[in-house]
Amino acid sequence: MNETEAVPVPAPAEVEENYLSAGHTVRSWLLTTDHKRIGLLYLFSIIFFFAIAAVAAAIMRLELLTPPGDLVLSATYNKLFTLHGVIMVWFFLIPSIPNVLGNFLIPMMIGARDVAFPKLNLLSWYLFMAGGLLALHAIIVGGVDTGWTFYTPYSSRYSNTHTVEMALGIFLSGFASILTGLNFIITVHEMRAPGLTWFRLPLFIWSHYATSLILVLATPVLAITLLLMMLERIWGLGIFDPRLGGDPVLFQHLFWFYSHPAVYIMILPSMAVVSELIPCFSRKRIFGYKFIAFASMAIAVLGFVVWGHHMFVSGQSVYAGMIFSILSFIVAIPSGIKVFNWTATLHRGSISFETPMLYALGFIGLFSLGGLTGLFLAALAVDVHVTDTYFVVAHFHYIMVGGTVLAFMGGIHFWWPKITGRMYPEKLGQLAALVTFIGFNLTFFPQFVMGYLGMPRRYHAYAPEFQIYHVLSTAGATILGVGYLLPVIYLLWSLRHGKKAGANPWGATGLEWQTPSPPPVHNFAEVPRVTGEPYDYSPQEEEKKAEDDHA
Amino acid sequence: MSTEIVSKKIYFVIWASLMVLLFVTWGVAQFDLGLFNSLAALTIAIIKMLLVILYFMHVRYSSRLTWVFAGAGFLWLMIMITLTLSDYTTRGFVRPYNRVLSNWQDKNWNHLPGDKPMEPRPLP
Amino acid sequence: MPETKRALAEHFETLEQQHQAAWLGMWTFLATEIMFFSGLFMGYIIYRHTYFQSFEIASRHTNIIYGTVNTAILLTSSLTMALGVHAAQEGRNKAVVRYILITILFAAAFMVVKGAEYYEHFKNHEIPGQAFHPIPQAPQAVIFFYLYFAMTGLHAVHVMVGIGVLSVMAWLAARQRFDRVYNTPVELAGLYWHFVDIVWIFLYPLIYLIDRHT
């Protein structure tokens, strides 16, 4: 009796400091080399950039509510869509999942204490911020009107806006991408826990490895392309200038050699997240593990050989167009393999519809739609018809918003308890997921229709017969905005008031769930040993447990 | 792994071969061999590169993984060159059925790129 | 070994693991460097293919003596660099300093020759821009010279970065930082330097040897 009073019960979670409580000064955040903190730094930064680009989108949608250009001038509209494109692509989508969730999770998933080069990881964030702020400055002092693609000779000679500064911002953030990719590749190769062979890795790691391959091999090409563009603008002459015998199409070749694979930088990490969510909430081992793993690698490699499909009407030779068209169809195969495997994982699983799962299911649907309309665009003849229309706009938003953003939200919700140690309100989460899904479809589905009917992209005024689709789209965007705002509110609320989460609130497999939430500074008290395959879920056991609980 | 220490002698041999190759490539360039000039220059450059990579950079004594990492950059460079050339070498092979476009191409494409205008093909 | 202990970062298990990570990391970086130069090489191939004669004529305006001497300098500097790495692997810090200083000297010599060459182009009005004198038989010579300056300029930037990196290595070696077990930084600096050499190995025939026989 007095024994129980004498011995205080030690709270195991509080024995070691977690990564959040390890330091509270600004310095401890800005000079951190902890991959978890860097992940959070990235999280705050990309949400900041997302908000800016979202405001630009909102103004554009408002302008498009009525056929005449009555809210903003055409020149302003040009700057708005450039801003939206540049910020969303380079300062939100590309770093979204890899730099936030990837940074946070990859070392934990493979049982390492940190990434291979923690200082480079921090440098990556600083380069990213330097680039982002430079781009922001370019916007504040007057903006850029070239579109996010910076096609020459408009960007290099004729545009009267701040293209050089903007390109320099992207150039810097490109080096941030390269450092991240390099870090991930080496981390996966060298830092795996004992027993964690390649085929025991979570698919999250496989997908991120494939992403890193693209980051490392494609981004330098963007760097040199933008560098040449900048030199051409500053120096007044160069290899893309038709007046000197240069060929602007060469710029497009080099640009899309990066920018097409960049689409896979955005989608592969989303696939990584979804491959974790689906088995967890189906309580089932993932179907066709090796197929999904190799499909990731195949997408990464094939993604490099299809860039010409962005240039079918640019003056590229028709022969090359045919080659690129065929190659583009081939990329659909590994993407299809993944969708089939996720669906097969659901089959006879013990499915529950928590918030992350809703996002994941939404992802599968929207990604399929986005991917299948991609096949239309890969077909030469159809592409000529819909080039530079809203059909294209809708297609890539289905991939980038319907795919990447939904997976990002799903991932944030799934790992939120791990990141913060708190649960968010489940019902609100489900509501937000639903609102996002509905808002998204209402925004972008009408754009398929009006694009096919001939509504061109990048115009601030349009023919009156398209108004109904634009009104629907703007209405949808409003709902979508609510869907984005809700999580921000309740996730912030949960930081203080959320229910404390245990180490493993979802009953998920994976090394990251075997350490307390929030994780200690060095992730694991001792290096874990891995003896089995990943995704060791069993639906039968789950059902039996549910029946027992019921009885 | 490159912890294996290579004998100094090898470095000198490699350096000597590099210098000989430099002399050869310079010498070959003095004669008019037509297309063979570029071919020889590039072949010798590739041999020189391989010598540097394999011996000076120790790849010959390193793991398979290093070979893959060292090769990846070159492989991707080849992808870029091959597919971009698939455009430039086939421009004008297939002519648009549209007469306006075809005429435009006849007028512009043959003069834009280069010193040797291509013969325009007769319309079908 | 106290040196070795200090060299091991806390997130690695063994020095072997740390070395392997750094080694592969450097190779990954070099792959990105290849792709960084790729845009220029691609441009060169396209315009060499399109403006065949212009390139031949324009290339005769480059100075093959400077080019060849510079190639010899860089190839030799690669040798001294390799010997420096060799010395580091044997833990002879003094020899490391010596070899690296020689390498830096070669690099500086390369830059001097390059500068002289640029000056000659300047005098002959061969720098693209307002003062460029067009070559009548070669209307697209300006593209050749643009590529020439972009490629050699980017390469020269890499040489200067190399001089900086090597200076740091020499300083570290002078402070006895390396030994038989821990010499990764010198090794990686060596890889970088050899890469700079390889870029030049290709620039030399592409720029100087196009059409020398006439």
pLDDT per residue as tens digits for the range A476-509: 999 999 999 999 999 999 999 999 998 999 999 9
- Exposure string of C98-134, with b = 16+ CB inside 10 Å and e = fewer, is bbbbbbbebbebbbebbeebbeebeeeebbbeeeeee
Per-residue tokens: C97: 């300093």
Three-class SS of residue C135? strand
Complex ipTM more than 0.90, yes or no:
yes
* Cβ of residue B86 closer than 8 Å to a chain A Cβ: yes
Could you give the C-alpha distances from C109 to B56, C156, C195, in angstroms and in order?
21, 12, 18
Q: C128 pLDDT band (50/70/90 cuts)?
A: confident
Taking the C-alpha atoms of residue A177 and residue A181, their distance in angstroms, rounded to an integer, is 6
For chain A, the average pLDDT equals 92
Q: What is the pLDDT of residues B96-108, one digit of tens each?
A: 566 676 676 666 6
CB-based contact C35 A218, cutoff 8 Å: yes
What CATH number is given to the structural domain containing A128?
1.20.210.10
* Cβ of residue A254 closer than 8 Å to a chain C Cβ: yes
B33, closest residue in chain C (CA to CA): C213
Per-residue tokens: A523: 């992730």
Could you give the C-alpha distances from B119 to B105, C48, C140, in angstroms and in order?
12, 20, 21
CB-based contact C31 A245, cutoff 8 Å: no
Under DSSP, the state recorded for A486 is: H
- For A129: left if phi > 0, alpha if psi spans -120 to 50, otherwise beta; the answer is alpha
Please list every residue in chain C whose beta carbon sits closer than 8 Å to the beta carbon of residue A237: 128-129, 142, 146
Q: Is residue B27 part of a domain?
A: yes
* A72-86, A194-208, B89-103, C39-53: least confident range: B89-103
C-beta of residue A375 within 8 angstroms of C-beta of residue A332:
yes
C146, closest residue in chain A (CA to CA): A238
Residues written for chain C: 214
Chains that touch C (3 or more CB pairs under 8 A): A, B
B87, closest residue in chain C (CA to CA): C46
DSSP string, A256-325: HHHHHHHHHHHHHHHHHHHHHHHHHHHTSPPTTHHHHHHHHHHHHHHGGG-GGGG-TTTT--HHHHHHHH
Crossing angle for the helix pair A248-282 and A203-235, nearest 10 degrees? 160
Per-residue tokens: A174: 């490109």
CA-based nearest residue to A447, from A406, A360, A386, A361: A386
Under 8 Å CB pairs connecting chains B and C tally to: 142
C-beta of residue A447 within 8 angstroms of C-beta of residue A469:
yes
* Cβ of residue A275 closer than 8 Å to a chain C Cβ: no
For chain C, the average pLDDT equals 92
* Cβ of residue C31 closer than 8 Å to a chain A Cβ: yes
Chains that touch B (3 or more CB pairs under 8 A): A, C
Better-predicted residue by pLDDT, A479 or A2: A479
A182, closest residue in chain B (CA to CA): B69
Q: How far is CA A293 from the centre of its chain?
A: 19
Q: C22 pLDDT band (50/70/90 cuts)?
A: very high
B80, closest residue in chain A (CA to CA): A257
Q: Is residue B43 part of a domain?
A: yes
Contacts of A531 by beta carbon, 8 Å cutoff, 6+ apart: A195
Alpha-carbon gap: B55 to the closest alpha carbon of chain C (Å): 9
* Cβ of residue C137 closer than 8 Å to a chain B Cβ: no
Q: B3 pLDDT band (50/70/90 cuts)?
A: low
- Per the structure, the complete domain to which residue A114 belongs is given by 35-550
Please list every residue in chain C whose beta carbon sits closer than 8 Å to the beta carbon of residue A217: 31-32, 35
CB-based contact B57 C71, cutoff 8 Å: no
Residue A305 has pLDDT above 50, yes or no: yes
Q: A315 pLDDT band (50/70/90 cuts)?
A: confident
C181, closest residue in chain B (CA to CA): B3
Number of domains in chain B: 1
Q: Is residue A6 part of a domain?
A: no
CATH class of this structure's domain C37-208: mainly alpha
CB-based contact B72 A253, cutoff 8 Å: no
Tell me, what's the pLDDT at B1? 40
Residue A385 has pLDDT above 60, yes or no: yes
CA atoms within 13 A on the CB side of C153: 13
Contacts of A488 by beta carbon, 8 Å cutoff, 6+ apart: A47
Number of domains in chain A: 1
Residue with tokens 């011995």: A7
Chains that touch A (3 or more CB pairs under 8 A): B, C
C-beta of residue C50 within 8 angstroms of C-beta of residue C139:
no
**Average pLDDT, integer, range B24-34:** 90
Residue with tokens 């570029």: B38
Alpha-carbon gap: C171 to the closest alpha carbon of chain B (Å): 22
Could you give the C-alpha distances from C96 to A544, C8, C173, in angstroms and in order?
69, 21, 7
Per-residue tokens: A343: 């669906």
Tell me, what's the pLDDT at A23? 86
Which amino acid is it at A264?
A: Y
CB-based contact C31 B41, cutoff 8 Å: no
Taking the C-alpha atoms of residue A524 and residue A108, their distance in angstroms, rounded to an integer, is 8
Residue B112 has pLDDT above 80, yes or no: no
Taking the C-alpha atoms of residue A519 and residue A504, their distance in angstroms, rounded to an integer, is 11
Per-residue tokens: B53: 């990579």
**Average pLDDT, integer, range A17-22:** 88
- Per the structure, the complete domain to which residue B55 belongs is given by 8-63
Tell me, what's the pLDDT at B107? 66
Tell me, what's the pLDDT at C210? 82
3-state secondary structure B85-113: HHHHCCCCCCCCCCHHHHHHHHHHCCCCC
Alpha-carbon gap: C65 to the closest alpha carbon of chain A (Å): 27
Three-class SS of residue A500? strand
C-beta of residue A306 within 8 angstroms of C-beta of residue A259:
no
Query: Is the C-alpha dihedral spanning C140, C143, C149, C152 positive or negative?
Result: negative
CA-based nearest residue to A493, from A429, A433, A544, A401: A429
Residue A345 has pLDDT above 90, yes or no: yes
CB-based contact A216 C147, cutoff 8 Å: no
Could you give the C-alpha distances from A155 to A73, A149, A166, A248, A253, in angstroms and in order?
20, 9, 11, 11, 16
C-beta of residue A407 within 8 angstroms of C-beta of residue A273:
yes
Please list every residue in chain C whose beta carbon sits closer than 8 Å to the beta carbon of residue A220: 32-33, 35-36, 38
Alpha-carbon gap: C63 to the closest alpha carbon of chain B (Å): 13
Q: B93 pLDDT band (50/70/90 cuts)?
A: confident
Better-predicted residue by pLDDT, C134 or A410: A410
Q: Where are the domains of chain C?
A: 37-208
Q: Is residue A16 part of a domain?
A: no
First to last CA, chain C: 63
Q: What is the pLDDT of residues C71-106, one digit of tens each?
A: 999 999 999 999 999 999 999 999 999 999 999 999
Residues of chain A with pLDDT > 70: what percent?
96
- Neighbour count for residue B102 (Cβ, 10 Å): 16
Could you give the C-alpha distances from A513 to A517, A522, C12, in angstroms and in order?
8, 14, 22
Tell me, what's the pLDDT at A548? 74
Q: Where are the beta strands (DSSP E) in A92-133?
A: none
Tell me, what's the pLDDT at A16? 62
Q: Is residue A101 part of a domain?
A: yes
Could you give the C-alpha distances from A293 to A216, A306, A426, in angstroms and in order?
19, 21, 31
Q: Is residue B55 part of a domain?
A: yes
Could you give the C-alpha distances from A325 to A124, A298, A312, B70, B88, in angstroms and in order?
36, 17, 9, 31, 17
CA-based nearest residue to A341, from A394, A278, A400, A299: A278
Taking the C-alpha atoms of residue A496 and residue A486, their distance in angstroms, rounded to an integer, is 17
Taking the C-alpha atoms of residue B3 and residue C19, their distance in angstroms, rounded to an integer, is 10
Helix (H) or strand (E) holding C89, with range, is helix C64-89
C-beta of residue A486 within 8 angstroms of C-beta of residue A433:
no
Q: Is residue A107 part of a domain?
A: yes
C-beta of residue A335 within 8 angstroms of C-beta of residue A357:
no
Q: What is the pLDDT of residues A532-542, one digit of tens each?
A: 888 988 777 76
